[in-house]
Amino acid sequence: MEDNYSRSTPDSIFSRNEAVGSGSRSFLANVFTYMFIALGITAVVAYLFAGNPEQYIAPILSNKLLFYAIMFAPLGFVLLMSFAFNRLSAPVLMALLLVYSAINGISFSFILLTYTATSVFGCFLTAALMFGVMAVMGYTTKQDLTSMGRIMMMGLIGIIIASIVNIFLGSNTMSYIISFIGVIVFTGLTAYDVQKLKRIGEGIDQDGNVIAGDVKKLAIMGALSLYLDFINLFLMLLRLFGRRN
pLDDT for residue 166: 87
Please tell me which residue, 145 or 16, carries the higher pLDDT value.
Answer: 145
Contact 237, 183 (CB under 8 A): yes
% residues pLDDT > 70 (the chain): 87
The string of pLDDT tens digits covering residues 186-214 is: 999 999 999 999 988 877 544 445 444 47
Distance CA 142, CA 103 (A): 38
Range of the domain at 61: 2-241
Residue 228 has a pLDDT of: 95
pLDDT at residue 189 in the model:
95
Q: Which residue type sits at 36?
A: F
Q: Determine the pLDDT at residue 181.
A: 94
Query: Per residue in 13-68, pLDDT tens?
Result: 434 444 445 667 888 999 999 999 999 999 999 999 988 888 888 888 888 888 88
Number of domains in the chain: 1
Q: Contact, 218 vs 30, CB < 8 A?
A: no
Predicted pLDDT of residue 99: 94
Share of the chain above pLDDT 90, in %: 49
Cα–Cα distance for residue pair 240/84, rounded to 1 Å: 35
With 50 as the cut, is the pLDDT of residue 3 above it?
no
User: For 135-156, what is the mean pLDDT?
Assistant: 92
Say yes or no to pLDDT of 244 above 90. no
Mean pLDDT of 115-124: 91
Which amino acid is it at 85?
A: F
Given this model, what pLDDT does residue 148 score?
92
Q: Return d(Cα 91, Cα 30) in angstroms, integer.
A: 14
Is residue 244 classed as helix, strand or coil in its secondary structure?
A: strand
Top pLDDT among 233 and 167 is at 233
Which residues have a Cβ under 8 Å from the Cβ of 56 and sit 6 or more positions away?
Answer: 48, 49, 106, 109
What CA–CA distance (Å, rounded) separates 37 from 215?
18
Residue 101 · residue 227 · CB < 8 Å: yes
The residues that bridge with 244 in the sheet, in sequence order, are 115
What confidence tens digit (pLDDT) does each residue in 79-101 have? 999 898 889 999 999 999 999 99
The set of residues, in sequence order, having a beta carbon less than 8 Å from that of 159 and lying 6+ positions away, is 178, 181, 182, 185
